[in-house]
Structure 1
Amino acid sequence: MTPQDYNDDELIAMCRVGKGMGYAGLYQKYAKTTYNSIHRFVLHTAEAEDLLQETFVAVFKDINRLEHVLNFGAWLKRVAINKSISYLRKNRIHFSDLVFTELEAWEDYDPMEDSIFENRLIDVKKAIRELPDGFRSVVTMYVYEQLSQEEIGKILGISANTVRTHYHRAKKKILAKLKDKSYHE
């Protein structure tokens, strides 16, 4: 049998007794999606690869504590996101520098904003990559990782209102870049 023939619980059980097939199976099953999640945060391939390895080392080191975790994939993603945020904090960004007043909620809402996002995904992804790290992290966690504003706030150490403000301002920055394109009227 190959690692793909086992479910997560069976692979985790193998890891707990030191069988390499368990580690290999979990890595093969989750490495690509975990790498993609990390890469959305750090943007550089070498850094993302390093963080991927650090994530799996940490997860495999703590595999015996997994009894209270119901979903291995979700737990792994959380570890990867936390490692990515820690990396950004340590190397490039201080989220406290991005704290703004929380006044802008839905003022200036333009329904065309949503159609721009839907119709120009490539341009949107490029605009997201060009955001400052703090804004990009909020957008990445909210849009790609589908975390709630409260969860994002806990991870970043900021309030949910500040997360909303960051998201709103990031969206405005993205739209400003997209408005220069000829498809926006």
Structure 2
Amino acid sequence: MIRRIPDTTWTDEDLVRACRAGDQTAWGALVDKYKKLVYSVPARYQLPPEEAADVFQGVWIDLYRDLDRLERVAGLRAWLVTAAARRSMLHKKRRQRLLKSGDLDPQFPDGAPFVDRLFENAQREQKLRDSIGRLPERCQRLVRMLFFEHPPRPYSEVARELGLAEGSIGFIRGRCLEKLRKQFEQQEE
């Protein structure tokens, strides 16, 4: 079975508009696009997995409920991080109260370095997805087929689907990766 990443050609505005119209595929793509970023926030607060899952679910329920009131779609990413941080803080405060009262045993040692790396990786992955979305259509499709599908597609199949000569795939891949590198570096600035 081939697992495909969400269509990076959809902007947040496209996704939100489609979600507001009731498109479940768009909702799935929106959640898939930001799931690692949202989940990385409770991880940064060092919440145990079950509490992190509660935060994750709560953020998406809040967004679904408030989607029609979301004024700045361009600020969606910040909205998600803020909502996840607020929910994470509430969980952390509740956990600390329970620890102080003796009603809860600490489950995790300090994992800050691991959690920081997890958060950084989620942010880097989101930047990569955003960078891919800024590539020309042919490069987006080529990069997705060669690097984000499991198993990766053979050059012959990629060439056939894109209408290219098989011998040109390696050269075009190099040019597309160079464009991707530049897009990614622009986001780093």
Q: TM-score, normalised by structure 1?
A: 0.48
Q: Rg bigger for which structure?
A: 2
Higher RCO (CA 8 Å, separation ≥ 6 residues): 2
